[in-house]
Structure 1
């Protein structure tokens, strides 16, 4: 009896220690109906930038980049870790570059998100080491329907899995030993833009054998259990074929490219989840996968098929829970549409890669405000000529000042964002007792540039901080107000432009008269980047 009690107490103590360990390292936690990233036991909002694919292959190539990152007010750098560089010879590992990146990031007061360029990078296996590439017999590649091999490691090979798994485990062990105390590395992206090309599925003999077998019970049980919550695209495929719960892939989902893609998504997901789980068993920081978005007119095989895309989200989730979330990479203008798809099941939004164009800063602010994203990151962040003049840095400065307020408001229904251009020049938000009409600054006839053929994108975030009181921050917007209470008018009681110093609000200028159009609106002109604190009131 004494031994039983002793063992019980030891088990409780072990579980308590494990829980404390997980809580003290970087992790995700729910706040209201949203998700926060917790770093060093505090909420952390990623003001990110992703390096170009080869920029971090040496510290010499990085030397001129670090100042640009801090000049743009980044707090996080997304950078690849290259399988071919850390394991140039089988079982001979070199982590010097990894260590140098971590040490320099600490010096610059930056966090890191490592992108594991392992088995797949933009579908291809370009970053696998030479000893893998040169031994196709042991480490086979996918084959198309003409039996032609492509430089994509097949996910059906146990040897391929074990090679990647071994390297990733060594990497995670090293990161844990080198960085657990400081928590410089805060997340891991497992692989990169996984997808099948140029056919919808792999025709390697291992793949053909799997395709002829019954659909795994694990997938069937998941979709049965979550039948009412499945994404519509996947639900309709299953429904059209009679909601079958047994049979091979063609029998359960029907014959066609859609089934080929579902089949590949399952095996890509299983492979990736095994990699992520092995890493988390060592050091359980958040891990995610990213998706190359498909064009609607393209068929499976014409885009990187079977990746972690919204229409395949249920398949990827069924494959395991070691991957914390799926993330979109944006080279597609339909920003709202895709983000709506990625978040429709209540998942957190993180945008690890967005084309670094003139729209990126404003989309980033919108994502943080409207979707309450855990972060945003333009790609090829080092490509700018003069980082201090970049609009991204000005937007990130606003986000940095507002981060404590943003994180305190997360998941509470007290925050939103707008994204405006010439075609979509107005948006209405209801918050507190008021209706806010946000319009593009150029809707004011007297604004410079109002007659321009193309208007620059603008955006803003609004946060309710008390009854009748709000922060509005951004660029290129004009806001009017309406009371939601019947027979009452809304007016401006006070408007201040200001900034946060040591997380405390400091008023710089009190606005009235011409600056508020005699109490009619709040305005932040195109080219200005401001936080304004506004207090409203109602009158008969």
Structure 2
């Protein structure tokens, strides 16, 4: 409490942006506490305060909690196992309620000293572990409703990401009742690509690789180049945050493509190594993590920023025939082809212009250079290489 008062009194320029109340709080080796005090609370059953919260917020409850409640008759009261099921996950619910109540008392004390956002971060329930094998009852996604009910003074529930499943974990923490903030993630060359993705896809508030200060300071390091480009892009990102005009792209060896539908248009995005001409795509090399943000400025105008992605624009009613292309981009000899055209539909979308740009402090764009035909594969797509971070301004047009 004295430290919080000190920060409030002396941090006039807002150096401290948020306060972490607890770090990876959770129960290990069992799903709940069996001490006399804990058992006394457990035998009281599910608190009315929690049941009231669940009824009021039924439409936004986590699917797993809602399903367990429904399977047990959606009781309005009862023991933890009567209401939520006869297994250790109900025990975890009990423990989550009490951890969150404890954190709420800490948050109330903090609010008396300082008015800054408060958050709690969680160690993930990954690798198929069950309660007790991971830090159970922490601010995990499947426990969010219990935490929100018991600790309303906490602004953010946040994930610490050190395992596989990056796309899935981030989606679980971006909900109507929680803003995504990543206070810890494994430090890696792909961090900048991940940051582009979560900001574009989930309007993420922040992204913090663990021990980033121990990473490379080389101007050529992916994180250095990527973070510099993110900083440059920030005026555009903040202007469009929360508007629904942004999408994030993230690709690696296991996930190489995505389709987005907007304005009657199909936007197909891929990992750069899905193109046929880079030898690293087929020589056994591990495909690096790549990512970007796609910002819709107008129905026919976009900004693409990031690294290692390929983006193609088509109308929804346009059917493209998959072609057997050589590394030069032309059809291989003897390829099947449809005559007179390899597409159908009323109109096609073309690339009117693709310009590399820089972003000024006020969010306006400064022209750097225009891409020529080879750099857009004769108008077929927009691309950014895996070794580059760029910002591209794209204008589209329709033609028959």
Q: TM-score with structure 2 length normalisation?
A: 0.88
Residues 365-401 of structure 1, C-alpha deviation per residue, up to 9 Å, x if partnerless? 1101111111111001122243433211211122212
- Choose which of 466, 485, 492 in structure 1 pairs with 2:351: 492
Runs of 5+ in structure 2 lacking a partner? 318-344
Divergent runs of 4+, >4 A: none
The C-alpha deviation readout for 1:446-490, integer Å capped at 9, x for no partner, is 123121322111111111123411110111112221134761111
Residue among 106, 111, 121 paired with 1:280: 111
Q: Is residue 2:23 matched to residue 1:171?
A: no
Q: Distance in 1 between matches of 2:313 and 2:45?
A: 59
Q: 2:75 — aligned with what?
A: 244
Matching residue of 1:354: 185
Could you say which residue in structure 2 is the equivalent of 1:196? 27
Give the match for residue 52 of structure 2.
Answer: 221
More helix by share: 1
CA distance in 1, matches of 2:212, 2:178: 26
Partner-residue secondary structure (3-state), 2:291: strand
Q: Secondary structure at the match of 2:255?
A: coil
Alpha-carbon distance in structure 2 between the residues aligned to 1:344 and 1:421: 25
How far, CA to CA, are the matches of 2:299 and 2:77 in structure 1?
Answer: 56
Displacement of 1:194: 0.6
Query: TM-score, normalised on structure 1?
Result: 0.66
Matches within 5 A, 1:418-457: 418-432=249-263, 434-453=265-284, 454-457=286-289
Report if the CA contact (8 A) 2:217-2:224 is conserved.
no
CA–CA distance in structure 1, aligned partners of residues 59 and 371 of structure 2: 51
Structure 2 distance, partners of 1:529, 1:254, is 50
- Give the alignment's Cα RMSD to 1 decimal: 1.8
Q: Is the 8 A contact 1:190 1:272 kept in 2?
A: yes
Counterpart CA distance in 2 for 1:418 and 1:385 is 25
In structure 1, the gaps of 5 or more residues are: 1-168
Q: How does 1:74-473 map to 2 (within 5 A)?
A: 169-179=1-11, 181-295=12-126, 297-432=128-263, 434-453=265-284, 454-473=286-305
Q: 1:183 to 1:506 in 2, by over 3 A?
A: same
| In structure 2, distance between residues paired with 1:361 and 1:284 | 31
Aligned residues: 371
Q: 1:522 aligns with which of 378, 382, 387?
A: 382
Query: 1:474 matched to which residue of 2?
Result: 306
Distance 2:217 2:234 in 1: 25
Q: CA deviation at 1:321?
A: 1.2
1: CA distance, partners of 2:223 / 2:216: 13
| Cα distance in structure 1, aligned partners of 2:94 and 2:48 | 13
SS in 2 for 1:343: coil
1:509 pairs, out of 369, 377, 386, with 369
Change (3 A) 1:393 1:319: same
Please give the alpha-carbon distance, in whole angstroms, between the structure 2 residues aligned to 1:501 and 1:247. 60
- The 2-side partners of 1:197 and 1:175 are apart by 33
Are the counterparts in 2 of residues 294 and 304 from structure 1 also a CA contact under 8 Å? yes
Distance, in Å, in 2 between the alignment partners of 1:434 and 1:409 is 20
Shift of 1:499: 1.0
What's the CA shift for 1:191?
Answer: 0.9
Q: Any idea what the Cα deviations from partners look like across 1:318-354, whole Å, max 9, x if unmatched?
A: 1031001211110121011112222244421111110
**Contact 2:303–2:391, Cα closer than 8 Å, also in 1:** yes
Give distance in 2, aligned partners of 1:176 and 1:444.
53
What secondary structure does 1:455 align onto?
A: coil
